[in-house]
């Protein structure tokens, strides 16, 4: 997923999240195993390509925060409530027949599996700061209302969950989530994080 800014039909600023975890799994490796291989192939802990963190960020030309839309606002509120462990929001605002497509090629059906994805992610970093970086909403004729949000989690891998056994390493996660709304709430959700980049941060932190 890409969050792009363009002037005169030319992209001049971009935030990109690749589902490298899905690629690793298709190669028969876990994201952690693939991250370890990448570090070795790139020359070791000192020379390897460092995963993106705020310390490596460079301010680009785009400084906006999105647009004003009831759909963007609604989805932003939903993600904030989830990240504050208010998981009752899922049966409240999601369609019972909602389909979620998540990192590492996970497909979730209905409340229970959607809840499992978000709870597993949040429980891995219980002390992490959740931040909404960018919010867009759209409501075009002949199309479902929809929203796109870029967000981040920044904290310590101190809990069990999506990232496995706690390592006590600092982790930065950049995520992008898209949602499509129907008459009974959110009926499609797409969320990507890069589990290989996260694993790489953990391994580099461990030396």
In a domain, 151, yes or no: yes
In a domain, 106, yes or no: yes
* Total domain count, the chain: 1
Average pLDDT for residues 77-82, to the nearest whole number?
Answer: 97
| 133 pLDDT more than 90 | yes
In a domain, 30, yes or no: no
Integer Cα distance of 146 and 126 in angstroms = 29
In a domain, 73, yes or no: yes
Residue 154, domain extent: 65-193
User: What CATH number has the domain bearing residue 110?
Assistant: 3.10.450.50
pTM of the model: 0.93
Q: Which of 148, 203, 150, 207 is nearest to 31 (CA)?
A: 203
In a domain, 85, yes or no: yes
Proportion of the chain above pLDDT 90, given as a percent: 96
In a domain, 24, yes or no: no
């Amino acid at each position: 997923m890409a969050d792009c800014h363009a002037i005169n039909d030319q992209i001049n600023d971009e935030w990109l999240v690749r589902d490298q975890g899905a690629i690793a799994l298709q190669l028969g490796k876990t994201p952690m195993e693939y991250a370890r291989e990448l570090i070795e192939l790139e020359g070791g802990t000192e020379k390897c390509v460092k995963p993106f963190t705020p310390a490596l960020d460079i301010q680009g030309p785009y400084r906006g925060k999105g647009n004003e839309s009831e759909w963007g606002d609604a989805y932003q509120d939903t993600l904030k409530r989830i990240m504050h462990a208010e998981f009752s929001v899922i049966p409240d605002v999601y369609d019972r027949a909602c389909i979620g497509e998540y990192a590492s090629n996970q497909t979730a059906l209905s409340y229970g599996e959607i809840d499992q994805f978000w709870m597993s992610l949040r429980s891995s970093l219980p002390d992490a700061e959740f931040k909404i970086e960018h919010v867009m909403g759209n409501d075009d004729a002949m199309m479902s209302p929809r929203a796109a949000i870029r967000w981040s989690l920044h904290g310590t891998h101190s809990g069990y969950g999506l990232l496995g056994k706690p390592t006590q390493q600092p982790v930065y996660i950049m995520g992008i989530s898209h949602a499509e709304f129907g008459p009974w709430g959110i009926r499609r959700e797409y969320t990507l994080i890069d589990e290989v980049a996260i694993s790489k941060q953990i391994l580099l932190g461990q030396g």
